[in-house]
Chain A
């Protein structure tokens, strides 16, 4: 009796939704998908999936999910609601996600910035350093004080690589450029990010980099103080119409759409995806009007050369802070070392916290 009842209820449920989608996909985001920020860019990827597949794919999204037991609960809930594909938008979801992936081989998961894969557990990372290299070039071009400041969250390899890329680029176009970095040792503290930004300005910085700050905190200070800023994740020029020099944004649309297609075709693989300018996962936005035509031409040239694979942000020679040559002239830093970077290049004022 009970079984019949459930069947009727299920049928009724299906009837109300009308047409059952071929695939249900759940998105779990670590912060609110506001107007800007990391979560917003992932949510734009979700919208791209909906646009590309229409009724065939049904997506759900849960935002502001703290890492830990809450995340595991949300994942479980989505799977029992019939989701067979999950997007896990934070590094800290790794272990819970991986455990569930093992016990549910029918569910495909894609996980942001993790380093563990399984047959049904893929990972993706952005080569943001490519974008920041271009931002660093622009910073070197526009700085008058020759001091460039960076407000950075934690000294994880991804961020260290960005600091190094900015420094190499700025010094390439402007050998006088000096680079200062402040580590906040906090993933989320907008007032402290602003204090750090003001500290850098008091030390003469006239271009700031906002590395992995989800809110427009640093952009806000730059706009108020009348200096330039390059920020992460989203186009923030609306918050700093005069101050944003460029925004290094992430676009996951193509990647998500291709993985959903793989899943629908039964060809999903737990691969690691590192997307940069050439894959379209990193996109430059909001170039400032203050950059001259020649400067823009040079930036575009480098961007195209990166995208085409003709040159690389970490082409040698690269000397580290201690004066050791890390990459010889003519060589390029291997991928493994870029994603495990724990040293700073020569010219950075500051050190890597261990």
Chain B
């Protein structure tokens, strides 16, 4: 494996779970709900996926199960913030901690176990191209799905009626309610979808990239997901750029260390964060446009008019 191949394939492996979870969170936030429990949902998805894959041998079933388990946790979060009108920030953090604790508990018998990696799906012809082929076109199917999901999310929010309703509910819940949309239901579905994506992302880590389960394996990635959505100014394309950039700079930092170039490793560890923030900040220089994309009612409690 040469350096460039490693950089390309490593970037895709590191960025894919971030991107999938961030695209889910994007839809949730577009509907006006800030979900800060992504870390816990990814952890729950990771452990559920790992257990199902170990027990059944079916990785697709495992991904689905991871998504469903995280969506169930998302339902708890949705109930707290949408029905009992809990504060979104506090509830999100609390549900996140619940998810992390729960995943440790469920995963106790599987702690530090490993699993055979999910099968790769090399793309014919392209995967035979030297250097780039094994780097970009010899991965598990989900790696190719992630950018497609970004395009689909962009299209969904921009050009479909469902997207329009989600945005309306996030921008002006009272108005959406007035013309007959069920704000709470739309938001609840968006929360479930976000949880489902986070669960799949977590399961991707435990069965496709790290191929092991250990309590704490998500190691802060859930928070990077939340940050990516904000720094991506709620636009699918920028969220995707952010995810891949973050993945690539993280790996580049490790590569630079392995070549022995004398840059302090703490600097290299912080580079991905700095580069991602600067790059996206430059893309979104115009504050007018940020305001245009940020859901107006994000994080606000919605009291349904009787």
Contacts and interface: CB of A to CB of B under 8 A. Distances in A.
A192 interface: yes
Nearest to A215: B214
A188 B210 contact: no
B123 to A, nearest CB: 21
Nearest to A224: B117
Given A195-B251, A198-B6, A349-B259, A34 B269 contact: no
Interface residues of B, number: 41
Nearest to B259: A203
Most chain B CB within 10 A, of A180, A198, A199, A203, is at A199
A69 to B, nearest CB: 15
Contact of A182 (B212, B214, B219, B258): B258
B257 A354 contact: no
Interface string A74-98: 0000000000000000000000000
A7 to B, nearest CB: 37
B250 interface: yes
Contacts of A189: 219-220
B257 A183 contact: yes
Given A183-B265, A189-B219, A220 B257 contact: no
Interface string A159-181: 00000000000000000000011
A351 to B, nearest CB: 5
A170 to B, nearest CB: 15
Interface stretch (B53-61, B108-116, B181-189): B108-116
A35 B265 contact: no
Contact of B215 (A31, A180, A203): A31
A191 B217 contact: yes
B295 to A, nearest CB: 31
Interface string B238-252: 000000000000110
A167 to B, nearest CB: 12
B6 A194 contact: no
B237 interface: no
A350 B260 contact: yes
Interface in A204-232: 205, 214-217, 220, 224-225
Given A32-B111, A34-B112, A202-B2, A195 B212 contact: no
B254 interface: yes
B254 A196 contact: yes
A191 B112 contact: no
Contact of A353 (B6, B14, B215, B265): B265
Contacts of B5: 202
B302 to A, nearest CB: 36
Contacts of B117: 224
Given A37-B112, A350-B260, A354-B264, A64 B215 contact: yes
A282 to B, nearest CB: 21
Interface in B272-295: none
A199 B264 contact: no
Interface in B164-223: 205, 209-212, 214-217, 219-221
B163 interface: no
Given A37-B112, A183-B257, A200-B258, 12 more contacts: A34-B111, A182-B265, A189-B219, A195-B13, A195-B14, A199-B254, A201-B1, A214-B214, A215-B217, A220-B210, A350-B258, A353-B266
6 contacts: A31-B215, A34-B111, A35-B113, A194-B210, A201-B6, A220-B210
Interface of B: 1-3, 5-7, 10, 13-14, 104, 108, 111-114, 117, 205, 209-212, 214-217, 219-221, 250-251, 254-255, 257-260, 262, 264-266, 269
Interface of A: 31-32, 34-37, 64, 149, 155, 180-183, 185-186, 188-192, 194-196, 198-203, 205, 214-217, 220, 224-225, 239, 349-351, 353-354
